[in-house]
Structure 1
C-alpha cells in the first residue's frame, strides 16, 4: 500500500488488480502492473490478483488462444514473484459472483458515465455501432471485480485511472441510493517512473501486444538474445542524454528508455539521468539491455517452464478461485439483501 494512504476503519486494507489475457504479456504489463503487485504482496497487504478472462471476450477471442493466454498471464504472475501461498491468484470466470455483481452495477451506473469512458472510444473508433455491448459496459464489470472483495486500493497504470474513478462513483451511488456504507471508495495506486511504458519504435504510443512489429515491444516470453536485440535497436535520437529529466520533455523515445531503466533498476528517473548525463546511446542502450536481460530473462525462463505443464497452472488457479469465492460470496449475498432480492 502507498505510504500515507488512509483506509476507512470499516474496511480491511486489501488490494485487487487484474490483467486481461488477450495476446501476450509485455514489459508494459510487468513494469506497469506485476512488479507493483509483487511489491504490495511483500509489504504484507492482503492481495487478490486476477486473470480477467471475462474482459477478454468483449472482443472476439479464439477459444484455444484464450486458454493459452490465460495460462500465460498466470505464469507471468507466478514467475515474477506472486506467491499463491501469500496472495490469491485466480481467473475471473471461475468466480461467478463477478458477473452477478456486474449486473447489479449495470443498474447503478448511468449511461452518461459510460459515454465518458475514453477507452471505449479509442477501441471502438468509427465502428462503435458494431462493437459488442460487453465492450461498452465492461467498466461496470471492472467495478464489480474490485468491489466484490471490498478492495480498498487498486494498483493501476495511468490509462486505467478513469475506471477506478468510475468504480468510486458506482460505490458512492450504491451506498447513497440504499442508505448504507457497504462498498469502500477505492483508491487508485499509481507509482513509479514507468507507469506507462511506451513503444520501442514510437515513443508517442503505448507499448502494445497488438502492435504491427514485434520489435515495438518486449514480450515477457522473449529470451535473453531477443531482449538485448530489441533494446539495442530501439529508436532514439542523435542527442546525448541531458543532465535533468526536463531535457527529455520533447524526446519521447529517450524519455521512455530512461524510465524503463529506472523501473528495472528500482531508481528514480532523476537518478538515472544523473548517472548517465552526457552519455551517448552507444553507452546507455547496451547498459539498459544488460539490465533488462538480468531482470527479465529468469522470469521468461520460469514462465516457459510453467507453460510446459499447464496442469500445474490450472491447479493454482482453481485453488485461488476457491479462496476468492470465500470472500466474494458473502459480499454478493449481502448486496442482494440490500437491493431487496428474496434469498
Structure 2
C-alpha cells in the first residue's frame, strides 16, 4: 500500500507559456516539490492532437515546454517529469477504460459541448479525451489533482470511471481528489481583465506576458494594461476596477505579501503609473532568470532528452504494471 500521497498534473504543449501559466500553476508545482508527496508532471501531447496540429509544430512545442518546465524549477531528481506519448501505457489504458465508460458520461462534459458548438468538424478524440485524461491520473494511483475550477468536472469523471472499473473488476484504482488551486494566483488578460490570460488569445492581443518575452516587451505590455479612470490603488470587488485588481494580484502573488501589506506598499500613491512600474519590475525580475535557463536547456538537446528519459522511465515503472493488472482482471491473456 502506498504511504506517500501522489499528485498528478498535466499541461498541454499548445504554445509558449505565459505569466498566467507560471503563477497560476507551475510555480506552485515547483514550490510543492520535496514536501512529502510524489509529484508527476506530464506533458500531455496526445491531448494536443484532439484538434489536429502541424506535426513539426507539436514537436517544437513539446520540447520547448519541457525546457521551460525545467527552467522554472521542476527537478527530475525530486519529481517525475515526462512526455505522455513516450509512455505507451497511457494510450493502452485509454482503450481499456473506454470499454467501461458509458457514452452519456462523455456527451455531458461541458468542455466537449462548448467546443462541439464552435467547431465545424470534430474528431472522436475530442469526445474521448476525458477518458485518456482519466487514465493519465489513475494509472499512477494519484490521490490529488491540482486544477483550475474549470477542470473539476474532468477529475470527477476520472473518479467515476475509476469507481466503475473497481466495481466491475475489483479494487484496482485509487479515487483521485480535485484540489482547486489558490484563486489568488489567477492572472487575467492585461488588455481584457475580465478574461483569464490564455494562450488562445492572439499574439497581437497585447494582454499576454510570455515567459520568453524580452524585458522591454514585458515592461511595454504591463504599461499598456487596462485600468480605469480612477487613481486609488486598492483591491476591490468592483468590476470596473478589474484591471487594477489584476495588477495588484500579480504583485501579491510574486511578493508573497498579504492584501494589507500590498496596499500599504502603494499607500499615498496617486495614479496607476507607479503601480505598473513596480509590477513591471518584479515580473522582469521573475521571468528574466527563467528565460536564461530556458535558453540553456534549448541549446543542449541531448541533456534535455536525458532528463525527459529519467521521467519516462520512472513513469513506465509505475504505469506499465498497472496496465498489466487491468488486463489480467479484464481477462486478457
TM over 0.5: yes
Residue by residue, what CA displacement relative to the aligned partner does 1:36-56 show, whole Å, maximum 9, x if unpaired? 111221323111111111011
Match for residue 110 of structure 1 among 95, 102, 108: 102
Structure 1: stretches of 5+ with no match in the other structure: 1-8
**More displaced, 196-205 or 16-25?**
196-205
User: Counterpart of 2:296?
Assistant: 305
SS at match of 1:155: strand
Q: 1:271 Cα deviation (Å)?
A: 4.3
Distance 1:83 1:103, change over 3 A: same
SS at match of 1:90: strand
Count of aligned pairs between the two proteins: 331
User: Counterpart of 1:56?
Assistant: 48
Distance, in Å, in 1 between the alignment partners of 2:260 and 2:240 is 16
Match for residue 167 of structure 2 among 156, 173, 176: 176
Residue by residue, what CA displacement relative to the aligned partner does 1:23-43 show, whole Å, maximum 9, x if unpaired? 211112111221111122132
- 1:200 and 1:207 in contact (8 A); partners too: yes
Distance, in Å, in 2 between the alignment partners of 1:247 and 1:207 is 19
Matched, 1:192 2:182: yes
Distance, in Å, in 1 between the alignment partners of 2:164 and 2:157 is 10
User: RMSD of aligned C-alpha atoms?
Assistant: 2.0
- 2:116 and 2:122 in contact (8 A); partners too: yes
User: Counterpart of 1:14?
Assistant: 6
Matched, 1:136 2:132: no
Residue by residue, what CA displacement relative to the aligned partner does 1:265-319 show, whole Å, maximum 9, x if unpaired? 2234454345435643112111111111111111012112211222221221122
Residue by residue, what CA displacement relative to the aligned partner does 1:4-39 show, whole Å, maximum 9, x if unpaired? xxxxx7664111111100121111211122111112
User: Counterpart of 1:97?
Assistant: 89
User: Counterpart of 1:267?
Assistant: 257
User: Counterpart of 2:285?
Assistant: 294
Match for residue 317 of structure 2 among 326, 336, 342: 326
Q: 1:78 Cα deviation (Å)?
A: 0.6
Distance, in Å, in 2 between the alignment partners of 1:183 and 1:218 is 40
Distance 1:332 1:241, change over 3 A: farther
Matched, 1:251 2:234: no
- Please give the TM-score of this superposition, normalised by the length of structure 1: 0.89
